[in-house]
Structure 1
Amino acid sequence: MRQKRAKTYRKLMHTYQLVFGFREPYQVLVDSDFISDLTKSKMDITAAIKRTVQGDIKPMITQCCIRQLYSRSQEAKQEIQIAKSFERRRCGHIDEAKSPLECMQSCINVNGKNKHRYVVATQNTELRDHLRSVPGVPLIYMKRSVVVLEPASRATMLEKHAKESSQMGVSKEEKQILSGKRPVSESEGEETGNEATENTEEQPKKKKRKGPKGPNPLSVRKKKSASHPAPPEDSPPVNIIGAVGQRKRHRRKRH
């Protein structure tokens, strides 16, 4: 198996583990057609499935599928020996044997769910079409002498997204705890809500006045202090240099 395909299959089975609770060894339910096709191709069924799911497996077969192999010609002796080496799955069809299609459907689809977390290995296209509508069913089949793991179906992806969104959701109490507030019960919430409505009825909200804002305080020129008042507008200009010179002359006369 190529490295890229093995990585894809490993990632897909990891998704089934996280979302639907699959665990190793995987329970692989095999039908009679899958056993016969792989036996004709001279492939080791257990090793081929292990390479496909990238993990340990527990191959299983139903009683109805074994009866289907017995009903064939004597050439199916090798296939019967391989089927007998697998673990027997009790399907409950003891009195009336059903076809492998009906038997596998009743074992896997339990109220629209893959209750027992089976990996299904089948060559029956009709069975694969039916099981695609059941979320969380990995499907394995042989295509051109290569055992293939089918990509996740639409029902599986929808179930995955639904579970992820439910896990990401946060309740109101959790939000209050994360924000540092005390969680409020329903009765307290109703009382506080009634008080708030009464207060809003008594005191109407003040509307904010819209208008031009003041200038930036950093760009405004500073006001002069009261200790140095500005000269009046009508007063003549003062010659500072001349006043200083007169003070010096008076001092010289005194000496």
Structure 2
Amino acid sequence: MKRMLSLRDQRLKEKDRLKPKKKEKKDPGALKEREVPQHPSCLFFQYNTQLGPPYHILVDTNFINFSIKAKLDLVQSMMDCLYAKCIPCITDCVMAEIEKLGQKYRVALRIAKDPRFERLPCTHKGTYADDCLVQRVTQHKCYIVATVDRDLKRRIRKIPGVPIMYISNHR
């Protein structure tokens, strides 16, 4: 069995040998640089100034399904929650996800095709709705995200200035 020589081996010629790494001494008086993510200008003291009535609410697939189970009128319950005019928005990915669910979720599809809902076109490839919603919310901080999905809520909580709307106890 053939074995390779290490680049630090004594038998190698000086020019072929690997040079030992020199440790740079750090100056204790020098300022330490660290990279801190820049917060968008719309967040003033952590308050999102782009949010205001009429509220644009990005609706997730399971939010529609849970509203049907809880027997809630989607637009009316949103207005009851926020005490202002609400415009529910549905992306193409969420619409495709509802269509993929098939015949069992035909009521959810009919609700999603309501003319009161605003359709948002998607430019990316694929139809994974969670990634689409997170991407749209990080770009534009003017949305409230309506979801019941735990993982999506966890992902959105990491984005500063984005409120989450969810259903619990039939409200």
Range of TM-score over shorter length: 0.5 to 0.7
Residues 231-255 of structure 1, C-alpha deviations (whole Å, 9 max, x = no match): xxxxxxxxxxxxxxxxxxxxxxxxx
Largest Rg, 1 or 2: 1
**TM superposition outliers: structure 1 runs of 4+ over 4 Å:** none
1:138 aligns with 2:167: no
Contact in 2 for aligned 1:20/1:136 (Cα 8 Å): no
One-letter amino acid of the counterpart of residue 167, structure 2: M
Secondary structure at the aligned position of 1:61 is classed as: strand
Percent identical across equivalent pairs?
28
Q: Which residue of 2 aligns with 1:79?
A: 108
* CA distance, structure 2, for counterparts of residue 24 and residue 120 of structure 1: 15
| C-alpha displacement of 1:25 | 0.7
Q: What are structure 2's unaligned runs of at least 5 residues?
A: 1-43
| C-alpha displacement of 1:134 | 1.3
Q: Structure 1 70/133 Cα, relative in aligned 2: closer, same or farther at 3 Å?
A: same
Aligned pairs for 1:74-113 within 5 A: 74-85=103-114, 86-93=117-124, 96-110=125-139
| C-alpha displacement of 1:97 | 2.4
1:35 aligns with 2:37: no
The counterpart of 2:146, out of the listed 84, 97, 121, is: 121
Aligned pairs for 1:14-53 within 5 A: 19-53=48-82
| C-alpha displacement of 1:19 | 4.3
Secondary structure at the aligned position of 2:57 is classed as: strand
Instruction: Give the structure-1-normalised TM-score.
Output: 0.46
The counterpart of 2:94, out of the listed 53, 65, 86, is: 65
* CA distance, structure 1, for counterparts of residue 98 and residue 49 of structure 2: 32
Q: Which residue of 2 aligns with 1:190?
A: none
One-letter amino acid of the counterpart of residue 141, structure 1: Y
Secondary structure at the aligned position of 2:166 is classed as: strand
* CA distance, structure 1, for counterparts of residue 50 and residue 60 of structure 2: 23
Instruction: Give the structure-2-normalised TM-score.
Output: 0.67
Q: 1 or 2 for the larger relative contact order (CA 8 Å, sep ≥6)?
A: 2
Residues 22-65 of structure 1, C-alpha deviations (whole Å, 9 max, x = no match): 22110000011100111122210101111111211111011011
One-letter amino acid of the counterpart of residue 107, structure 2: Q
